[in-house]
Amino acid sequence: MKELKIDRQPLPLATLRDIWMSPVKLTISSESRDAVAAAHEKVLAVLAGGDQVYGVNTGFGLLANVRISKDELGLLQENLIKSHAVGVGPLLSDEIVRLIMVMKIKALAEGYSGVRPALIDMLCTLVSKEIYPTIPSKGSVGASGDLAPLAHMAGVLIGVGSVRVNGEEMPAADALKAAGLEPVTLGPKEGLALLNGTQVSTALALAAAFRTENLLAASLAAGAMSADAVQGSDTPFDERIHAVRGHRGQIDVAATLRQFLAGSDIRASHIDCNRVQDPYSIRCQPQVLGACLDVLRHVCDVLEIEANAVTDNPLVFAETGSVLSGGNFHAEPVAFAADHLALAIAEIGSLAERRIALLMDPHLSGLPAFLVRESGLNSGFMIVQITAAALASENKSLAHPASVDSIPTSANQEDHVSMATFAANRLHTMLDNSNNIIAIELLAAAQGIDFHHPRQSSEILERCLGRIRELSPTLEKDRSLKPDIDAVSSLIDEGDFYQQCSAILPGVAR
């Protein structure tokens, strides 16, 4: 298990990707511990002075004007967590929960939230021992923070709710006892600091961005294989064409496609053919996928900032003695980023579906109809193209922006919300769809290249073909391709194509 010390330096995107992918052992630096303690002392000083501070000695939302007595301040924070833990829907994965917890620890460790260092230590222990709260995926509107889902996370600290340990769900109180831990008694502001924040929507969006890296890498391999299978030209990928336009993503995608196709005997066999131009789904890959890469890079820039941000309320500035109430919990930047990423995910799948259709058509591809010998007796890849079309069309609807929607909550006190949590969560359905589309294209393109053997494709693409053939043999006669699609889709989502494109992906190329 990797070890990570949380300090006041930003966590880079590559580290966040590692946290998403595998467990981590956490500690906080002495510098962070000192900053946290100083802010907590300021909260105690405010209480001792009798000042009224939102969420510290008042109610919440529309009840902010209700003053809470000193002997009920701990109960106020406990009640906050219990009353807000009302999420519904499928549970978030352990990987996303781990990201949520680490980002909450990072935000609290900046020293602007007024909590005790011991509270952060408890969160670090849960992450290090792989005790992950069960967090329902629905119930947040992405303003005032991700209140309901973060309440489910926070409840575990006081022994309420449930957790997963090694994939097994159990009551939080039992898991704490088994780990030798005692439930926390919350101090002033601590429940509010745990619940306020954009960590859930940010974690969902970050995980989607990391999955999109895997998707884009696979789509570049699939697009290159399709280009070779239909005996397409590599002239449209010439670096001079892309240099005069100037978009970085377009330039990088064209270079990757040239690298993938370099040395292909199939390409060399038709270099002097009469075809003038290929369809856009082949020819315009750098322009379309390059734009998607640029979107992904922008989204990662936004999310990297948000992952390191302090987003609870109010904020404690110990150096000046100020406790300021603001709105950093409003997740509009995350909502916009998620909506932007949705466009790229949809377009990656849409372009791939057009290449699949091209491979099916003997008049355009020069390959047997529906990529099978004895077509008529065999339907070959006919229906998998329909599956791809259905998924591409579903993604078009899901790509509609969520951030333009808003619904007032808390008796109109919270009168504009971001919908960032839904905006980010729906990306994973879209990614499942596009992963399956690219899986279908990889299978179809592999079938197309098989028809050109003994001529070989490039060394890189023949390696891709070999990896696919480990999971899916050449289609000689009709069989269900569902198991093949599932296997190759998993290959994509696990990042099997990531390394061959990592130099241009934002998780590495910063």
User: Active-site residues: which are they?
Assistant: 54
Cα distances from 293 to residues 133, 249, 251, 287, 502, in angstroms, run 34, 5, 10, 10, 12
Q: Which of 412, 398, 416, 409 is nearest to 331 (CA)?
A: 416
Tell me the C-alpha distance between 60 and 56, whole Å: 9
8 Å CB contact between 198 and 311 = yes
Cα distances from 331 to residues 54, 81, 150, 307, 311, in angstroms, run 20, 20, 14, 12, 9
Phi first, then psi, for residue 449 (nearest 5°) are -65, -35
Eight-class DSSP state of 471: H
Tokens of 372: 């099978």
Measured at the CA of 204, the angle between CA 198 and CA 210, to 5 degrees, comes to: 125
Q: What is the DSSP string of 25-46?
A: EEEE-HHHHHHHHHHHHHHHHH
Tell me the C-alpha distance between 206 and 192, whole Å: 24
Tell me the C-alpha distance between 4 and 25, whole Å: 6
Tell me the C-alpha distance between 448 and 129, whole Å: 49
Q: Which residues pair with 414 in a beta bridge?
A: 409
Tell me the C-alpha distance between 222 and 1, whole Å: 34
Q: Which of 337, 353, 387 is nearest to 219 (CA)?
A: 353
Tokens of 368: 């047997």
Q: Which of 240, 239, 223, 350 is nearest to 278 (CA)?
A: 223
Instruction: Give the neighbor-by-neighbor strand order of the sheet with 131-133.
Output: 131-133, 162-165, 168-171
The answer, yes or no, to whether the previous bond of 454 is cis (omega within 30 of 0) is yes
Angle between helices 199-229 and 147-155 (to 10 degrees): 110
Q: Which of 28, 45, 9 is nearest to 320 (CA)?
A: 45
Torsion angle in degrees (nearest 10) through CA of 106, 107, 111, 113? -140
Tokens of 316: 């404690």
